[in-house]
């Protein structure tokens, strides 16, 4: 809601999309290939298969650093690899219109010891190119989020005196053109958190966010008709107020109308008490009252099959009992992937960054250690990654200059399950263009499963998350070749989790 409270310290699935879908491969039939479109409440890939956005916000481009935060500590590729290893399949990248200015210079990036070497000397848009390219290679998607008109702070309306609507639309069109043909970028979030005096359906073109979203959305689609257009809510509709960007009540009577059909995804934001207090948190029936609240503000759009709904931001420090109950209730409301597959709400958690002042992040303050408790709350709504690909805008080489890339996929199969225990096998396939020297596979179980023994791999388990790495005799895998390992676990009945393979 109150973006001023969500301050950035700038200075410095168990996913059963289809029955038995625990396989993570790069085959054409894997959901997610190509550009996406909508059908009722679902998002479908180019082949008509349903997909689920289950991702993370990585902010920084919208701040005075003009680049994603944390690059002062780590290489950007290692950051994206870690997101993938944790089971996030999409990155929402906030930006401000400052990154389009020729005078903008990215800062606070560490180039020592070879870190971020291919970012040196680049401007913000060129850094964005590199991040988009590598994200696509890793099998993740990108949503570009026009977060602010400038690095100074959030604006209530989509324009300011310094950044008029014409500049906003011109820059959105520039991005849509820049990434045309690169389907790693699946869409653009037109403006972050419109709030009072923004209205929805009031007809005043200076305040009506719904009309502005139509103007901007049509402009984007005029140059890149394949993109999804993500439209956030407002703060107040018919006297009912909520979180900034979180009120989509007006969609029922005033839907967003675009020239290209099946492109609108509505986006809500929802937060806990660590961001701001709301009346529903002190209701005696809390947290049982929350599904009704969400239904009223935005959930009805999904439940009435009007359009897909993406919770583009939600987060908390998770320090209070109220916040813990809120997050558990919201995750359950978003629909577990193991039960509903991609017929679910979409989401990107706020945030990857630990330096979000009133929510913290998935990473701890060292920018490397994972907050496994917070990440664990999201396990049931994570979903598989997508086929790698995308290509580079303007011929930007992005990854390895020689064109070779180490990559792998993994398939998890339960070979037997007797209730109190089970056996499983994981097959690793070299899906890259160069031989593997070593690999590791990660997954998160939705329940209390534990590895009891493992062969042909070493492993570590923390909570429900497991990391298995090759042993000496099966780390080297030729292009197109495979390696496998097996294990026993308990209890049974855990299903087939989404698995991620990383070439190391």
Distance CA 425, CA 409 (A): 14
Query: CA angle 469-475-478, nearest 5°?
Result: 135
Distance CA 132, CA 137 (A): 9
Q: What's the first-to-final CA gap in the chain, in angstroms?
A: 40
Distance CA 436, CA 479 (A): 8
**Which residues make beta-bridge pairs with 23?**
411
Tokens 């497991």 correspond to what residue? 466
Copy the structure tokens of residue 343.
């017929």
Question: From the centroid of its chain, how far is CA 311?
Answer: 10
CB 93 within 8 A of CB 38: no
The residue among 266, 274, 228, 230 whose CA lies nearest residue 247 is 266
Other CB atoms within a 10 A radius of the CB of residue 203 amount to 10
Please identify which of the residues 30, 62, 193, 232 carries the catalytic annotation. Answer: 193
Give Cα separations from 197 to 254, 276, 305, 316 (angstroms).
Answer: 18, 19, 29, 26
Other CB atoms within a 10 A radius of the CB of residue 35 amount to 17
**Which residues make beta-bridge pairs with 187?**
143, 228
**Which residues make beta-bridge pairs with 269?**
313
Distance CA 246, CA 117 (A): 39
313 classed as catalytic = yes
165 classed as catalytic = no
Instruction: Give the number of residues written for the chain.
Output: 504
**Helices marked H in 90-202:** 124-137, 165-178
User: What DSSP element (H or E) covers 82?
Assistant: helix 76-85
Task: Give the residue numbers marked as catalytic.
Answer: 193, 313
């Amino acid at each position: 809601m109150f973006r001023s409270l969500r301050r950035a310290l700038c200075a410095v699935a168990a996913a059963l999309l289809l029955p038995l879908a625990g396989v993570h491969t790069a085959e054409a039939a894997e959901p997610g290939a190509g550009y996406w479109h909508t059908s009722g409440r679902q998002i479908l890939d180019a082949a008509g298969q349903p997909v689920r956005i289950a991702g993370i916000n990585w902010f920084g481009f919208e701040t005075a650093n003009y680049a994603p935060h944390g690059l002062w500590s780590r290489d950007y590729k290692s950051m994206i690899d870690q997101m993938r290893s944790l089971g996030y399949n999409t990155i929402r990248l906030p930006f401000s219109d400052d990154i389009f200015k020729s005078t903008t210079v990215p800062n606070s990036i560490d180039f020592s010891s070879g870190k971020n070497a291919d970012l040196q000397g680049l401007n913000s848009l060129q850094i964005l190119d590199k991040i988009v390219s590598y994200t696509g290679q890793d099998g993740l998607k990108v949503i570009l989020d026009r977060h602010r008109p400038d690095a100074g702070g959030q604006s209530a309306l989509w324009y300011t005196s310094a950044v008029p609507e014409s500049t906003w639309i011109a820059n959105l069109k520039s991005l849509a053109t820049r990434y045309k043909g690169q389907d790693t970028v699946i869409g653009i979030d037109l403006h972050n958190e419109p709030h009072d005096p923004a209205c929805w359906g009031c007809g005043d073109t200076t305040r009506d966010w719904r009309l502005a979203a139509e103007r901007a959305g049509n402009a984007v689609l005029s140059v890149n008709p394949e993109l999804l257009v993500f439209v956030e809510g407002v703060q107040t509709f018919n006297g009912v107020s909520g979180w900034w960007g979180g009120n989509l009540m007006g969609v029922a009577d005033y839907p967003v109308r675009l020239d290209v059909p099946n492109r609108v995804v509505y986006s809500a934001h929802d937060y806990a008490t660590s961001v701001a207090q709301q009346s529903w948190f002190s209701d005696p029936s809390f947290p049982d009252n929350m599904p009704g609240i969400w239904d009223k503000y935005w959930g009805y759009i999904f439940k009435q099959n009007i359009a897909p709904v993406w919770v583009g931001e939600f987060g908390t420090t998770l320090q209070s009992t109220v916040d813990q109950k809120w997050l558990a209730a919201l995750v359950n409301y978003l629909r577990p992937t193991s039960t509903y597959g991609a017929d679910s709400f979409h989401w990107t958690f706020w945030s990857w960054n630990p330096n979000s002042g009133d929510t913290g992040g998935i990473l701890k303050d060292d920018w490397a250690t994972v907050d496994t408790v917070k990440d664990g709350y999201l396990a049931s709504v994570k979903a598989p990654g997508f086929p790698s690909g995308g290509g580079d805008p303007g011929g930007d080489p992005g990854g390895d200059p020689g064109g070779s890339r180490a990559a792998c996929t993994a398939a998890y199969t339960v070979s037997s399950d007797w209730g109190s225990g089970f056996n499983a096998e994981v097959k690793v396939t070299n899906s890259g263009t160069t031989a593997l020297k070593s690999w590791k596979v990660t997954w998160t179980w939705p329940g209390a499963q534990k590895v009891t023994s493992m062969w042909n791999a070493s492993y570590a388990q923390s909570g429900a998350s497991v990391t298995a790495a090759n042993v000496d005799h099966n780390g080297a895998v030729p292009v197109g070749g495979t390696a496998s390992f097996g294990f026993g676990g308990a209890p049974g009945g855990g299903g087939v989790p989404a698995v991620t393979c990383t070439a190391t």
